[in-house]
Structure 1
Amino acid sequence: MSDDVWTMETLTQIDNSLESNDLDDVEDFQLTKEQEQARFSNPVSEEEILDLQRSRIPRNTKRNTQWSVNVYDGWACARNTRVKTYGTTHSERYAYVVTLTKDITAEEFDFWMCRFICEVRRQDGSPYPSMSLKSLCLGILRYIKEEYKRFDLNLMATDNAQFSRLRATLDGQMKKLDSEGVGNVVKQAKHTSPLEEEKLWETGTFGIDNSEFLFNTVYFYNCKIFGLRAADEHSSLHVDQFVFGKDDEGEFVDFLGGTCKNNQGGLKQGGKVRTATRLFHNKVDEQLVREMTGHRSLAVRAYKCTSETQEKEISDLLQPPKPKESKIEPKTSPPKSPVVTCILPDKSDAKPVTIKCTKRNGDSFEIMF
């Protein structure tokens, strides 16, 4: 949450964004004492408030934070055991690694984090990739800020001079790992090509003939068109998140996303969103947009909202492949045999019977019996 969330400007923007039906017109009715008592919720406990605060943190972030703390604790235990067994050959200010508590000093934190960055290893003894190492540091920082409110230990703030050595150590170690090729293979989802997509339709993996085919189809195109990723985004979908409409371009489906890993809802800085979006639509340089909105990070790029024309073009590109025309030629009946015309003589004649036959092509012949 940024420092200016509760400025007067932001509060005014929130007030202006409220619909009229969100506000009680208290002059239109009078409540009895019983109604006044029943109007509000029961008093909440401190634990309920803490649970609500914790619930805003995405599940993967919590898991990453716990992983970071576990790695730090494991490293601290192993280092302390080694010092107890073999002693230390360095004349250091501290012999034993301190635990992550509210009482840790900035000097101790800087001292031990520098050593953690250089010494930490994966379970198989190999070094962590550079981005994993940075993620570990950020997870530890989140932990001491969330658990102990130690906001003074912000090791990533460039204007915090007391952690300049720590940042320099992290930067140097990350560059060293990158130069050694550690973790250069990036894991990412395999792209589905148009030919592969057509194959899924042709083989019956996609379709509408039964529930399994329909499930596969809906799941795939929810990912492709609406950008759903995490499993909880699919499992928590509601029908009212899909708005069906029609405009000059034709029929459309508008998806209203809910909260997920990268969209937790909550407070929005409406003024900055509107300003940045309008500037981007008018092709203003990104650096100028960041200066106008006060954004220091690249998060301002999230406000690059697309126009309706662009959305229509993108939507057309993401549609399922059109059904192929059937190449099966119509069945034809087998050629008919030549028609034979027979002229029968008068049956009263006792003489041998002679039958004159004429083919379709005009040839004639006789049969006598």
Structure 2
Amino acid sequence: MALDLPELKNEPVMDFNIGDILDIMETDSSAPNLSSPEVEIEMKNERFEPVSDDEIQRLIDSQKNPNTRKNTTWAIETFNKWRAERDNVPLLTEMNSESLNYWMQRFVLEVRKQDGSEYPPRSLYYIVCGLLRFIRDENIHNVNFLDEKDHRFAVFQRVLDARMKELLSKGLGTKVRQVDPILPENEEKIWNQKVFGMQSSLALQYTVFFYNCKLFGLRGYDEHKSLKCDQFEVGCDERGKYIRFHGRSSKTYKGGLKHIQLQNKDIKHYCLNGKPLAVGIRYGEQVLGINKIKGLMKEITGQAGLLGNFTNHSGKRTCATHLYQAGVDEQEIMSRTGHRSETAVRKYKRSNSVLLENVSKVLDPPKMMKFEEPLPPVINQENLSMNDSKEFDNQENVTRNPQSVFNNCVFNFKP
């Protein structure tokens, strides 16, 4: 029940406590009898609403990660194309454990890309994971061909392991192109190029997007798309002014049964040495499209003239890299980025160019020694004639000993 506040503006102000309210409810004869069957049925109808099977399935599907759904679709389509070129291969959902163990061995050895080349080992593993998710989505939960404890698939697991090692030995999957972080010198360049700032709505948009990534470790685009104003809180305490960010659902925190012991992000960032904000900033109500958000980091780095592999994922990598280079504890880095393990957060940390240069200097070979004069050539004395030998001896003495030194000698000079 909502109150119409304008109707109360001329009424006297009255203070109530919970005891007064209970007394009124007990003595008011006009109040409805909450225990009557009619009221109980009406309350039930207002409070609880039945749902259909389709609504339940839509709820489950809505909480699946889009990239995960895409990977599952790619995996089953790849399997079905392989199956179409094979004979007598049953549907994946119709195989028993023995059949799965048999055909999955052959699948991981025979599957190829559309151009006929072999998949890298990690991609092959992702395909197998996608097939397992597809089986789960079909409500088949009694098989898991990736479970080491399930001995029914022990042979398949050995084949998959050997195949991945073989692919790696061929050089497949050894070159992983990682996105680059925005290093401090690059960030300063972006400001100097006036890509960041408050001089235009576009510059303000770039600034807000980047520092949401850097300060609060937001991911590529999904967390930006779902941001709400009430997730930010501006306050002040004995340490100074701060912005507090309350995270919600993300890739690493969904809030379901598996994450019941985890907590959502709760970050307090103190505003110490930030750039000055202009007054009178106006914000539009139009929401940025998903494709626009996906390309923001490329626009920022492109306009600033930065060279490298920059994507929206560079924002979160920037957050982890800056904290890592400053010597911040890994646990604090994880609280900002949202990672749940040290192994995961270490993939985001990148050494800066100065540190890499120092490491290279330590490992470089020693500097080459410089000779003022070249060494004389080696000459075979046996092949020299008498005159040549004397001439060579004279040249050697002149070259090596420009000043003769005599010890314990007696000289007789004739007039």
Q: TM-score, normalised by structure 1?
A: 0.59
SS in 2 for 1:152: coil
Contact 2:196 2:204 in 1 (8 A): yes
Amino acid at match of 2:119: Y
Contact 2:253 2:259 in 1 (8 A): no
Contact 2:121 2:164 in 1 (8 A): yes
> In the superposition, relative to structure 1, how do residues 36 and 305 fare at CA in structure 2: closer, same or farther (>3 Å)?
farther
User: 1:191: Cα distance to partner?
Assistant: 1.7
Which region of structure 1 is more displaced relative to structure 2, 255-264 or 231-240?
255-264
Q: Does 1:114 align with 2:118?
A: no
> In the superposition, relative to structure 1, how do residues 273 and 52 fare at CA in structure 2: closer, same or farther (>3 Å)?
closer
Which whole-Å deviations, capped at 9, do the CAs of 1:274-308 have from their partners, x for residues lacking one?
9xxxxxxxxxxxxxxxxxxxxxxxxxxxxx8549x
Amino acid at match of 1:97: V
CA distance, structure 2, for counterparts of residue 113 and residue 267 of structure 1: 31
Contact 2:233 2:244 in 1 (8 A): yes
- Count of paired positions: 237
Find the partner of 1:140 among 125, 131, 142. Answer: 131
CA distance, structure 2, for counterparts of residue 233 and residue 128 of structure 1: 31
Find the partner of 2:249 among 256, 259, 262. Answer: 259
User: 1:246: Cα distance to partner?
Assistant: 2.1
Find the partner of 1:65 among 34, 56, 72. Answer: 72
CA distance, structure 1, for counterparts of residue 60 and residue 168 of structure 2: 37
Contact 1:59 1:261 in 2 (8 A): no
Q: Does 1:195 align with 2:202?
A: no
Residue number in structure 2 paired with 1:217? 207
Residue number in structure 2 paired with 1:74? 81
CA distance, structure 1, for counterparts of residue 75 and residue 197 of structure 2: 44
Find the partner of 1:228 among 194, 218, 225. Answer: 218
Q: Does 1:99 align with 2:106?
A: no
> In the superposition, relative to structure 1, how do residues 210 and 269 fare at CA in structure 2: closer, same or farther (>3 Å)?
closer
Residue number in structure 1 paired with 2:120? 129
CA distance, structure 2, for counterparts of residue 253 and residue 232 of structure 1: 21
Which whole-Å deviations, capped at 9, do the CAs of 1:163-217 have from their partners, x for residues lacking one?
0011111111111111111021113211212111111100110001221000001
CA distance, structure 1, for counterparts of residue 259 and residue 74 of structure 2: 32
CA distance, structure 2, for counterparts of residue 165 and residue 107 of structure 1: 11
Unaligned runs of at least 5 residues, structure 1: 1-26, 81-95, 275-303, 312-369
SS in 2 for 1:159: coil
- Percent of aligned pairs sharing the same letter: 37
Amino acid at match of 1:190: D
Find the partner of 1:54 among 58, 61, 72. Answer: 61
Q: How does 1:262-301 map to 2 (within 5 A)?
A: 262-267=252-257, 273=262
Residue number in structure 2 paired with 1:30? 34
CA distance, structure 2, for counterparts of residue 116 and residue 247 of structure 1: 61
Amino acid at match of 1:98: P
User: 1:50: Cα distance to partner?
Assistant: 1.6
Contact 2:34 2:40 in 1 (8 A): no
Amino acid at match of 1:136: I
SS in 2 for 1:176: helix
Find the partner of 1:248 among 238, 251, 255. Answer: 238
Q: TM-score, normalised by structure 2?
A: 0.53
CA distance, structure 2, for counterparts of residue 236 and residue 212 of structure 1: 20
Alignment root-mean-square deviation, CA? 2.6
Misfit runs of 4+, over 6 Å: none
SS in 2 for 1:151: coil
Residue number in structure 1 paired with 2:20? none
Amino acid at match of 1:59: P
Which whole-Å deviations, capped at 9, do the CAs of 1:65-122 have from their partners, x for residues lacking one?
0110000001111233xxxxxxxxxxxxxxx221222x31111111111111111111
